[in-house]
């Protein structure tokens, strides 16, 4: 609530300008986006990310989205992710004969969601789906549930501890008909940042176990 009021006042006092070059009426303009590199470290299996998280503009945009409820940041990032994946998605669509793909934003715990008031991965997911000219996605926020807070995974450097921390962190919603929404479906799990891939890997594992045909993790930054 306070953040919303703060944002409202800031928007009036300081009209939108690009966080990179201060150009008016953009949150982040195309020219600045073009300067942001793709992730330059080793690719994670079945995970796609479009920007290098080390770049200050991406760090800033994700920070704005996560902690200051800047929907525009989420919207811009989701659109970019969609643009980045146009070809891959249309190929998949041809292979799978026009069936709809399921989009699942990485969930927050109930408590965290209440505290923050929104889930940033949902903003990204919505903009992602809207960046395709045809409606080929079903967005579902209630298939996967986060049961416990896993803290800052990136700060846990020991891989074993990180994976142990993930055990039981997510589960599938028992009130959802998995035969319809998971079994034999192509699913994309969307996150803002992936560092080690631990969160996305865990959710991919759960969905695969429940019979999903193919599951991919997609993130704005890595």
Interface residues with Zn ion (CB under 5 A)? Answer: 18, 20-21, 23, 29, 32
Burial string for 48-57 (b: 16+ CB within 10 Å, else e) reads bbbbbbebeb
Tell me whether residue 20 or residue 82 sits nearer to Zn ion (CB atom).
20
Closest approach, Cβ 59 to Zn ion, in A, equals 16
Please choose, from the candidates 73, 81, 92, the residue with its C-alpha nearest in 3D space to the C-alpha of residue 222: 81
**Measured distance CA(13)–CA(166) in Å, rounded:** 43
Beta-bridge partner residues of 216 = 188
Q: In terms of CB distance, is 29 or 207 closer to Zn ion?
A: 29
Q: Are 27 and 73 in contact (CB under 8 A)?
A: yes
For residue 52, the minimal CB distance to Zn ion (Å) is: 17
Please say which residue, 23 or 93, places its beta carbon nearer to Zn ion. 23
Q: Whose Cβ is closer to Zn ion: residue 32's or residue 145's?
A: 32
Separation of CA 95 from chain center: 24
Output the smallest distance, CB 54 to Zn ion, in A: 19
Give the shortest CB-80-to-Zn ion separation in angstroms.
14
**Tokens standing for 127?**
């903009």
Write out the two tokens for 104: 């699942």
CB of 14 to Zn ion, least distance (A): 16
Nearer CB in complex with Zn ion: 35/41: 35
């Amino acid at each position: 609530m306070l953040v919303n009021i703060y944002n409202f006042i800031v928007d009036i006092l300081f009209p939108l300008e690009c966080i990179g070059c201060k150009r008016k009426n953009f949150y982040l303009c195309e020219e600045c986006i073009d300067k942001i590199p793709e992730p330059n470290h080793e690719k994670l299996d079945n995970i796609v990310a479009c920007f290098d998280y080390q770049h200050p503009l991406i760090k800033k945009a994700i920070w704005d989205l996560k902690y200051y409820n800047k929907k525009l940041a989420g919207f811009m990032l989701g659109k970019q992710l969609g643009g980045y994946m146009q070809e891959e998605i249309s190929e998949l669509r041809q292979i799978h004969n026009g069936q709809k793909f399921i989009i699942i934003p990485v969930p927050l715990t109930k408590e965290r969601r209440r505290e923050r008031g929104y889930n940033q991965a949902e903003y990204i997911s919505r903009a992602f789906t809207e960046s395709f000219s045809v409606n080929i996605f079903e967005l579902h926020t209630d298939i996967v549930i986060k049961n416990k807070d896993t803290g800052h995974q990136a700060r846990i450097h020991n891989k074993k501890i990180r994976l142990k921390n993930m055990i039981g962190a997510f589960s599938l919603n028992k009130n959802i008909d998995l035969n319809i929404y998971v079994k034999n479906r192509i699913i994309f799990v969307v996150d803002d940042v992936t560092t080690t891939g631990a969160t996305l890997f865990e959710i991919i594992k759960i969905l695969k176990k429940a019979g999903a045909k193919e599951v991919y993790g997609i993130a704005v930054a890595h």
